[in-house]
Amino acid sequence: AQKITQTQPGMFVQEKEAVTLDCTYDTSDQSYGLFWYKQPSSGEMIFLIYQGSYDEQNATEGRYSLNFQKARKSANLVISASQLGDSAMYFCAMRELSYNQGGKLIFGQGTELSVKP
Amino acid sequence: DVKVTQSSRYLVKRTGEKVFLECVQDMDHENMFWYRQDPGLGLRLIYFSYDVKMKEKGDIPEGYSVSREKKERFSLILESASTNQTSMYLCASRGGGSWNIQYFGAGTRLSVL
């Protein structure tokens, strides 16, 4: 069965430092997509970054990059130069192309990131 | 800008009431989704729709129904609200194409008393 595991329930980082949020996944499919979302205390899920299973380059979006290691089935999110506004829950999610539920995302349990001034 | 709008941020209802949660997207997306989010259980798919009047059950459809009469609007209905349906409800939409991004609304925090 498809599964996403985030092993860090909570993390602290000093402002302006980089931080890595871990995500491992389990799937038997060859074609899949990996996503990271941010959820501030207000509740909205904000899309951050996407990586396709066939993409050879690691995805980057501004201060966000995705460290994709396919053989290890890991898709860690790296946030560079942390800002106070980065304090939020972060969710890793996966979608399988062949999955029959129209694009259902499978989410991990989330990591709560706190940025210290 | 991408916009998924949920009609209420907070809602308080009584047990047994019929509850409607509304979601509207302005991106002409084919696919729309309803999830619920609970501490320790993460996000779970309730229902999704891939076209007008089309719907498919997700992982936890019991106690819920949905309606999609127009492409931009997807409604979640609690036929007879119960206390175990107290939760955060998130609507999302996604365009066609294999890897299009799923965009979420701000969520509705529902309390059933």
Q: Both ends of chain B: CA-CA distance in Å?
A: 37
pLDDT confidence band for A29 (50 / 70 / 90): confident
Higher confidence at residue B59 or residue B66? Answer: B66
Percent of chain B residues topping a pLDDT of 70: 96
Q: How far apart are CA B74 and CA B70, in angstroms?
A: 8
Q: Among all residues of chain B, which has the CA nearest to that of A95?
A: B99
Read off the pLDDT of each residue in B1-29 and give the average, rounded to a whole number. Answer: 93
Read off the pLDDT of each residue in B66-72 and give the average, rounded to a whole number. Answer: 96
Q: What is each CA distance from A49 to A35, A55, A103, B48, in whole angstroms?
A: 6, 13, 17, 23
Size of the A and B interface in Cβ pairs below 8 Å: 62
Task: Tell if the CB–CB gap between A37 and B33 is shorter than 8 Å.
Answer: no
Choose among A114, A110, A61: nearest CA to A83: A114
Q: How far apart are CA A36 and CA A50, in angstroms?
A: 7
Interface check for B31 against chain A (CB to CB < 8 A): the answer is yes
Strand boundaries in A22-83, DSSP class E: 24-26, 32-39, 46-52, 60-61, 64-69, 74-79
Task: Please tell me the predicted confidence (pLDDT) of residue A105.
Answer: 87
Task: Please tell me the predicted confidence (pLDDT) of residue B97.
Answer: 65
Read off the pLDDT of each residue in B2-29 and give the average, rounded to a whole number. Answer: 94
Task: Please tell me the predicted confidence (pLDDT) of residue B71.
Answer: 95
> Which of A28-32, B18-22, B36-40, B47-51 shows the lowest mean pLDDT across its residues?
A28-32
Q: Which of A29-38, A95-104, B12-21 shows the highest mean pLDDT?
A: B12-21
Does pLDDT of A98 surpass 70? no
Task: Tell if the CB–CB gap between B45 and A101 is shorter than 8 Å.
Answer: yes
Which of B3, B55, B88, B104 is the mutation pick for testing A, counting most A CBs within 10 A?
Answer: B104
